[in-house]
Amino acid sequence: MATGIKDKVAIIGMGCTKFGERWDMGGEELMVEAFEECIADAGIEKKDIGAAWFGTCLEEVNVGKTGMPLSTTLRLPMIPVTRVENYCATGTEAFRGACYAVASGAYDICLALGVEKLKDTGYGGLPAPGSGAGSLSWQWWPNLSAPGSFAQLASAYAAKYKVSDQDLKRAIAHISVKSHDNGLLNPKAHLRKKVTEDQVMASPIIAHPLGLFDCCGVSDGSACAIITTPEIAKKLGKKDFLSVKALQLSLSSGEEMGYNEWDGDHFMTTTKCSIKAYEEAGIKNPREEISMMEVHDCFSITEFVTMEDLHISKRGEAVKDVMDGFYDLDGGLPCQVDGGLKCFGHPIGASGLRMLYEMYLQLHGRAGERQIENPKYGLTHNLGGFPFQNICSISIIGKYNS
């Protein structure tokens, strides 16, 4: 019988670059920057790493399709390197591979690294449809834009729960303001500038009701983690180390696009994936037990809807919780404590590991001005694709319980 991954793997080191318009560096240099911090934090040598998982999404305009860029750039000791890609959940997918390898007993110590170099591709920071994402864009999404599809999510939510246009825009504006406030406290964040709700509300509309400040930017960056077993972590002299409590992944089956039961106001994958994650972690009441979250705020409405899909806010009540400040840094359950995709940035292959990096800092008490008091569990959530066809990845980490 499957027993899950709870407390079977320990995170002993993490690293993350500054995200942003890194014109001075290529993908390889970003990988080195993240790795140097990570291995120093872990206190091991490269020869101790038994295998690695390498996450990149848009490989044609980035570092390539194989695991070779990681192996050659970091001069790894001729070990197995597996390249993975799962849309915006790519970084977490690399982490999942490393965790499962250690939990299975196949390797003692593994590396997970994600990277994306997007800012100098020539198409608003992203490749043209079909060039980096494969032929799927041309075959299935010929007229699709990301802002447009997520704006439809916002409209569907407002219609279902009878939220006025003004109230919805005010709530998602509060989310954007919160992310900017938190990003201002983070020296590695891409966007570090305070904004007001009035500024967000008055910004140019990209796809109604989403304005300029409701959309995350395009960034370069890399993040990584070193994973081992709790037993080896103890032998290395690690104290109060972190362990993985849950790792869950859910992919759309086609139900959303193919049938009429889904009304377009939420993410079916997140709704189901989160239940499995809480069960694996042994969490009964996530609203009370989760200390902080990093969720996939590619657009402010995505974060908003995710609050309900994660079973934190009740259906139709996210507006109240957001406006009451429940998800603010000093609220009941802080969300996007490092600025989120919105302000830390979104280099696709790195984002999942970047989220875990913030949880890692917070749980070790290293987050500086944005430090949360006595956090117990940190949750990360990635969403790849679009509302009607997507990938959801959820991780929960916390202090190791022997």
Catalytic residues: 88, 346
Give the H or E element holding residue 103. Answer: helix 90-103
Which residue in 257, 253, 242, 206 sits closest to 378, CA to CA?
Answer: 242
CA angle 305, 307, 313 (to 5 degrees): 115
CA angle 129, 62, 11 (to 5 degrees): 115
209 cis-preceded (ω within 30 degrees of 0): yes
| Strands 10-16 and 109-116, bridge-based pairing | unpaired
Cβ within 8 Å of residue 3, ≥6 positions away: none
Number of Cβ within 10 Å of residue 161's Cβ equals: 15
CA angle 225, 231, 237 (to 5 degrees): 75
Alpha helices in 108-145 (DSSP H): 136-140
**SS3 of residue 108 by DSSP:** coil
Exposure letters 80-104 (e unless 16+ CB within 10 A, then b): ebbbbbbbbbbbbbbbbbbbbbbbe
